[in-house]
Amino acid sequence: MNRSKIAGIGYYVPERVVTNNDLIKVMDTTDEWIQERTGIRERRYGVKHEETTTTMAAAAARIACERAGIQPEEIDFIVFATLSPDYYFPGCGVLLQRELGITKQEVGAVDIRNQCSGFVYALSIADQFVKTGTYKNVLVVGSEMHSMGLDFSTRGRNVTVIFGDGAGAVILQPSDDPNRGILTTKLHSNGTYAEKLSFINPGAHGGYHKKHMEEEVDYGYPSPDTYGEIFITPKMIADGNYYPNMEGQFVFKMAVSKFPEVIHEALNELGLQASDIDMLIPHQANLRISQFVQKTLRLRDDQVWNNIQKYGNTTAASVPIALCEAWEAGKIKEGDLVCLAAFGSGFTWASALIRW
Ligand code: UT7
């Protein structure tokens, strides 16, 4: 069986910088609170009605193609991870195909809905296709346009201050060197706490979620024998119940336990130690989470890449953006052991070990 390697990588972040002080103008928060609790100083927001999750993904994908030495026409499969798709359906995979101008090829495109661990899941799926010889140039993308769907009032401050927009992409190809490329990927989930970090409206749950919510919310559903008004009711709109919600401390506690666990699982399979990692790219959820993981694994500062300070949490885009930045900065060299790890909504979590 082949191994797959990252043959090209690129990222895109919108030009517009939004600082913590900019957010103070619209909600009750402070620069001190945000920096102390999350490490974030600023994030990027896309240009509304011009940039979307798809257009940002295309920008990152074009760079990845160029660095892989291929034309977009040579892509033979697309795997797209996002939680902020342009449309409810169809998914961003096909929109990206169109945006890249490669519809003639009619290659397959799939969307991954695994939130913060979406890119590592997407990479693992692409890896299976390349390893088995099914595809030769798989485009794997993580992209998010969070700024379109956040609550910019004080009510949403615990979520809104964290998130930013951006995209990252890689081209996965078969590796000619059996010792290089993706060595292993580990994927996990536990749906018990699905609602602890969720964005449930609009959705077709029709009140199903009530048994899973600690606090029962009246969404104003019509009587069960009335059709329509299923995805979004007038009451949801009136109450502003169409934003993501998160029980931050609960998520934090799970994250700091699952990150090290899934990294060790991958290392153990290959008989490696945490000290063998040359570069850890953790999902950029919170600088405090990354620092906790670094400490648990006893890694030096130069073995971990963080950029949440500049971009906030870009969910599925955070791992490829950080990976690309670290590589561009010359911090990842041929032969290095690179570890990707992520945890988020679902809960889902994942890791990947790559011999660069
Ligand atoms: O990427 C996907 C996975 N996500 C994560 O891993 C996120 C994990 N969780 C976290 O990063 C942290 O829990 C947060 C950064 C979200 C919150 O930090 P925290 O230290 O857990 O704060 P908290 O939620 O316990 O809130 C503490 C206080 C509350 O006020 P009271 O009740 O103590 O009076 C909040 O209302 O901070 C208040 N607060 C804020 N104050 C100023 C919440 N958000 C803000 C804000 N500005 N933006």
What is the pLDDT at residue 2? 83
For 29, the domain range is 3-175
User: Within a domain: residue 305?
Assistant: no
Q: How many domains does the chain have?
A: 2
Ranges of residues in the chain whose predicted pLDDT is under 50: none
The pairing of beta strand 77-81 with beta strand 108-112: parallel
Backbone angles phi, psi at 309, to 5 degrees: -55, -35
- Looking at residue 221, its pLDDT comes to 79
Q: Is 29 in the pocket of ligand 1 (CB under 6 A)?
A: yes
Residues 147 and 228 in one domain: no
Candidates 20, 283, 306, 307; catalytic one: 283
Is 283 annotated in the active site? Answer: yes
Evaluate the CA torsion angle 21, 145, 354, 334 in order and state its sign.
negative
Cβ neighbours of 274 (radius 10 Å): 18
pLDDT for res 204: 85
Which residue's CA lies nearest to atom 41 of ligand 1?
29
Ligand 1 pocket member 251 (CB < 6 A): yes
Q: Which residue pairs from 249-254 have beta carbons closer than 8 angstroms and sit at least 24 positions apart in sequence?
A: 250/193, 250/196, 251/196, 251/197, 251/344, 251/347, 252/286, 252/288, 252/289, 254/193, 254/343, 254/347
CATH code at position 79: 3.40.47.10
- Say yes or no: 169 and 26 in one domain: yes
> Using a 6 Å cutoff on CB, does residue 139 contact ligand 1?
no
Quote the pLDDT of residue 44: 98
